[in-house]
Amino acid sequence: MSNISLQTKRILKNRAFLALCLLSTSATILILALLIVSIILQGSHFLFNSDALSAVFAHGELSQIPKIFRWDFLTNFASRFPEKAGIYAAIIGSVWVCVICALLALPLGIGTAIYLEEFAPKNRWTALIDFNIRNLAGVPSIVYGILGLTAFTRMFGLFGSDKNSALAFGPDDAWWHIQFPFGQGLLAGGLTLMLVVLPIVIISSREALRAVPSSLRQASLAIGATPWQTASKITLPAAIPSILTGAILAMSRAMGEAAPLLVLGIPVFIANTPDNLNDNFTVLPFQIFNWAGRPQESFHQLAASAIVVLLVVLICFNGVAVYLRQKLRKPMA
Amino acid sequence: MKSIATLALSLLALPIALAASMQTSDADLRKLTGQIKVDGSSTVYPITEAVAEDFQAAAPKTRPTVGISGTGGGFKRFCAGEIDISNASRPITKTEADSAKTNKIEFIELPIAFDGLTVVVNPANTWVTQLNVDQLKKIFSADSPAKKWSDVNPAWPSETIKVFSPGTDSGTFDYFKEVTVGKDGKIRSDLSVSEDDNVLVTGVAGDKNAIGYFGFAYFAENASKLKLVPIDGGKGAITPNGMTIEDGTYSPFSRPLFIYVNAKSAERPEIAAFVNFYLANTAKLSKQVGYTPLPAVINDRATSNWKSKKLGTQYLDASGNKVQGSIANVYK
């Protein structure tokens, strides 16, 4: 008798736990869905052309499909008239700094991870470095902004000021023009974002390398391969899908940062795209921040539209990460 | 006969030549190149953005950029020589002017528009119909701040006041602080602060016992959710609106907004053209983006100060003391 009641109790507990898990999952999804739907609704005015929408869906005029989206929102510069305002400068700026950030942060971060995981001796020093990197990953990004302001924007005042540089190469409008300090230029932004994401890249790459079974390494070393051969031919290829996933998630983080760039003093209004690495730029999150703070409701709608664009870009990034992971994953056996 | 014709022609040509020397022609604007770096107050930003937008259309090869580091942040960069023009929602302080002097930065101060600072309460608040500066001081001061509405006026309900204020790095905060508790006074610390004035709007709109302050444009966009408080500056309670802000009767909360131009930058043709363009269009553009234009006479004085490159601020006297009073008195 007691045996049966114990049995039902066990099953009841199991069901209760399942219900709890389902509840928390659906709560998360509901909150996310609510957020996305409300943002899309708020931003729809500047994203979609209502005439074309009704033509396509109510009257089936398929020729109107390209006109559904208000492309000029993507190709216009910022404006005081909400109807004419767009995010061209912000998109171009965001892409530029992210590319610079990726080109700098990925080799440095993955290289550090390979050294720490595959070559470095396990002693007090590497433990200290490991501890510090983990700590840095938790530092608020605005702190990196202050570091970037001193180190990249002003360069400790070593080379004069941005407007009166003591060390510059090439004419101002040449694509290869470069000057020190970097001021509010693309390089300053890219380097500052590199500081923000570097700890994340290192940690995720190390986790990826650690997940490679050590039997593979030992087998390679046992047949006489050097540690470099083992790392480059065995460990790294096995870890690359996860490394890439981490790297792309880090880049999404860089794309979404506004705080560190705010500290650098980058502008919000700019009606040009950069010609060289020292040119001024603005980024999407910063434009969103500005629009969301304006008194007029139309600017809040613009901010929502820009958030939708930012979300789409981030979803694309994550999609690439998933695709690469599937494509590069090879069976270990 | 011929000489009369020549005379008539030259008389005709005179004003045209004069006008041409005052204003850069359209063709000249198209040829201009170079960076125009502006940073500072987010309150002034919409006006400068509008000017930069139109100027860029007239002079497509120039690169105006406008940032929003805040009045204090903008002056920091301006006094270090990093930017050409600083947007400010309050006059430069002595400390900032001294720092400019140390860095050998000279500047021209130009008032460009008015912003009315509005004090608002919740629409359900039936007891506050007007406030004077003393009452505001009681509510906002750090020295024995009024905890309850009844502390301000015994006839008012004994309920806790919820205070909302813009961030301490904003010129709006500085200006409000100076008017209510004075330069050396302190604003109470138990208040809700946000850099985003929309958050303040939501805060005051959602709490019956709330009070807050921000620029007139934020009130104008949310007039149905808020109750505007007329302010008694000593001459009876005045409700802020376009008229009372412009003629200065909405005192002491009708505040001028400024741009500060680096005198060395002003020698560059693109900066000079930009500032000319600014002064010529600020009346129209400031109205478009929700601010009150300066009276024509102040705008004329600002323009003549600009033409004669009058250096320094009108708000500090020779010995560095702050000059008080309305802009009409300061800009003589």
Q: Lowest-confidence range among A320-324, B107-111, B154-158, B291-295?
A: A320-324
* A288 and A188 housed in the same domain: yes
Cβ contact (<8 Å) for A265 and B46? no
Q: Lowest-confidence range among A151-165, A209-223, B59-73?
A: A151-165
Residue A148 lies in a domain: yes
ipTM of this predicted structure: 0.84
Query: Residue B77: what pLDDT?
Result: 92
pLDDT, greater one: B10 or A74? A74
Cβ contact (<8 Å) for A295 and B215? yes
Closest CB from A80, A162, A300 relative to B49: A80
| Residues on chain A touching B42 (C-beta within 8 angstroms) | 290, 293
Query: Residue B3: what pLDDT?
Result: 52
* pTM of the full structure: 0.85
Query: Residue A23: what pLDDT?
Result: 96
pLDDT, greater one: B220 or B261? B261
Taking 70 as the threshold, does the pLDDT of residue B167 lie above it? Answer: yes
CB distance from B63 to chain A under 8 Å? Answer: yes
**Section B22-32 average pLDDT:** 75
Q: Tell me the shortest Cα–Cα distance from A28 to chain B, in angstroms.
A: 25
| Residues on chain B touching A183 (C-beta within 8 angstroms) | 82
CB distance from B177 to chain A under 8 Å? Answer: no
Confidence of residue B264 (pLDDT cuts 50, 70, 90): very high
Cβ contact (<8 Å) for A296 and B290? yes
Residue A96 lies in a domain: yes
Q: Tell me the shortest Cα–Cα distance from A161 to chain B, in angstroms.
A: 7
Query: Residue A173: what pLDDT?
Result: 74
Residue A333 lies in a domain: no
| Residues on chain B touching A265 (C-beta within 8 angstroms) | 39, 67, 69, 73, 77, 82
Query: Residue B102: what pLDDT?
Result: 93
**C-alpha gyration radius of chain A:** 25
Query: Residue B247: what pLDDT?
Result: 78
Q: What's chain A's average pLDDT?
A: 89
CB distance from A132 to chain B under 8 Å? Answer: no
Closest CB from B49, B56, B218 relative to A295: B218
pLDDT 10s digits, A37-50: 999 999 998 988 88
Taking 90 as the threshold, does the pLDDT of residue A249 lie above it? Answer: no
CB distance from A80 to chain B under 8 Å? Answer: yes
| Residues on chain B touching A269 (C-beta within 8 angstroms) | 45, 48-49, 52-53, 64-66
What percent of chain B shows pLDDT beyond 90?
47
**Section B19-23 average pLDDT:** 45
Q: Lowest-confidence range among A134-143, A268-277, A316-325, B278-287?
A: A316-325
Cβ contact (<8 Å) for B63 and A270? yes
* A63 and A91 housed in the same domain: no
Q: Tell me the shortest Cα–Cα distance from B8 to chain A, in angstroms.
A: 45
Residue A307 lies in a domain: yes
From CA B165, how far away is CA B140, in angstroms rounded?
Answer: 9
From CA B181, how far away is CA B140, in angstroms rounded?
Answer: 8
Structure tokens at B214: 């921000």
Residues 6 or more apart from A54 whose CB is under 8 A from it? none
Last residue of a domain, one of A35, A52, A70: A70
CB distance from A266 to chain B under 8 Å? Answer: yes
Residue A100 lies in a domain: yes
* A106 and A192 housed in the same domain: yes
* A219 and A175 housed in the same domain: yes
* A189 and A285 housed in the same domain: yes
Confidence of residue A331 (pLDDT cuts 50, 70, 90): low
Residue A82 lies in a domain: yes
* A54 and A83 housed in the same domain: no
From CA B294, how far away is CA B292, in angstroms rounded?
Answer: 7
What pairs with residue A158 in β-bridges?
A: none
* A79 and A65 housed in the same domain: no
Taking 60 as the threshold, does the pLDDT of residue B81 lie above it? Answer: yes
- Residue B166: is the preceding peptide bond cis (ω within 30°)? no
Last residue of a domain, one of A40, A70, A100: A70
Q: Is A264:A149 a contact under the CB 8 Å cutoff?
A: yes
**Section B173-192 average pLDDT:** 86
Q: How many domains does chain A have?
A: 2
Give ∠ CA B218-B223-B228 in degrees, rounded to 5.
90
* A18 and A151 housed in the same domain: no
Structure tokens at A77: 């510069």
CB distance from A293 to chain B under 8 Å? Answer: yes
Confidence of residue A3 (pLDDT cuts 50, 70, 90): low
- Do the strands B237-238 and B231-232 form a parallel or antiparallel pair, or are they unpaired? antiparallel
pLDDT 10s digits, A255-307: 999 999 999 999 999 998 888 888 899 999 999 999 998 888 899 999 999 99
Taking 70 as the threshold, does the pLDDT of residue B303 lie above it? Answer: yes
Query: Residue B12: what pLDDT?
Result: 47
Cβ contact (<8 Å) for A267 and B67? yes
Query: Residue A285: what pLDDT?
Result: 95
Query: Residue B52: what pLDDT?
Result: 95
CB distance from B286 to chain A under 8 Å? Answer: no
| Residues on chain A touching B73 (C-beta within 8 angstroms) | 265
Cβ contact (<8 Å) for A295 and B81? no
Residue A24 lies in a domain: yes
* A149 and A15 housed in the same domain: no
Cβ contact (<8 Å) for A292 and B289? no
What percent of chain A shows pLDDT beyond 90?
59
Residue A175 lies in a domain: yes
Query: Residue B14: what pLDDT?
Result: 44
Query: Residue B255: what pLDDT?
Result: 86
Query: Residue B23: what pLDDT?
Result: 54
CB distance from B287 to chain A under 8 Å? Answer: no
* A167 and A273 housed in the same domain: yes
- Domain containing A44 equals 2-70
Confidence of residue B233 (pLDDT cuts 50, 70, 90): confident
From CA B179, how far away is CA A200, in angstroms rounded?
Answer: 48
Q: Tell me the shortest Cα–Cα distance from A50 to chain B, in angstroms.
A: 25
Q: Percent helix, strand, coil in chain B (nearest 5)?
A: 40, 20, 35
Last residue of a domain, one of A37, A54, A70: A70
Q: What's chain B's average pLDDT?
A: 86
* A244 and A118 housed in the same domain: yes
CB distance from A229 to chain B under 8 Å? Answer: no
CATH number at residue A151: 1.10.3720.10
* A124 and A34 housed in the same domain: no
Residues B260, B264, B267, B271, CA torsion sign: negative
B29 vs A178, A270, B33, B57, CA distance in Å?
27, 18, 9, 10
pLDDT 10s digits, B201-231: 999 999 999 999 998 888 988 899 999 999 9
CB distance from A79 to chain B under 8 Å? Answer: yes
CB distance from B221 to chain A under 8 Å? Answer: yes
